[in-house]
Amino acid sequence: SKIWHNNTTTIHGATDYPPIKREDILESAQYFMGVALLAAQRSRDPSTQVGACIVNEEKKIVGVGYNGMPNGCGDDTLPWRRSGDSPVETKYFYVCHAELNAIMNKNSADLKGCTIYVTLFPCNECSKLLIQAGIKNVIYLSDKYHDDEKTVASRRMLDLAGIPYQNSFVRMKAVG
């Protein structure tokens, strides 16, 4: 076996010494959006699965969430359909959005100065929550409801509150 000398240490039997630092690592923005995408995979919504990951100024994850029915209400009891005879028979009156859940799941005292990575552009209700929670930056992936009135109102509030929003195209790379 090889004997490697590391200034002060002699390492017997090492096959991969000296260690070379990996440079081709996942960038932090990709990592955080990756966490949001993974969280989205937990959603039971048959049409749109949304994930959100909140990150503080030290680049630590402080909250993760996905869209789902309120706690204790049962995923199979309330409707998941998009349309029905009455809005009471659709998911929209019940589902908790990913951003709401990420905020409620926070593991820090507050979310002031945080960035949210979210797989779908925040709706108007979520933008209200983000603003009031003190979130300072929004990174999103899909903007499929860009022209909806709710999204127009959402952008209007974020603009007024001085919260920038950026689109992030994530190319997930295999980690091996």
- Sign (positive/negative) of CA torsion 84, 67, 168, 35? negative
Distance CA 85, CA 89 (A): 7
Distance CA 95, CA 45 (A): 9
Size of the site for Zn ion (CB under 5 A): 3
Q: Which among 23, 57, 58, 99 is annotated as catalytic?
A: 99
Is 98 one of the binding residues for ligand LCLUPRNS (CB under 6 A)? yes
Distance CA 126, CA 92 (A): 14
Site string for ligand LCLUPRNS, 41-60 (x = CB under 6 A): ----x-xx-x----------
Closer by beta carbon to ligand LCLUPRNS, 58 or else 149: 149
Minimum distance of ligand LCLUPRNS from residue 144's CB (angstroms): 8
Distance CA 135, CA 103 (A): 10
Site string for ligand LCLUPRNS, 102-141 (x = CB under 6 A): ------------------x-xx--x---------------
Closer by beta carbon to Zn ion, 102 or else 126: 126
Distance CA 147, CA 126 (A): 17
Positions annotated as catalytic residues are 99
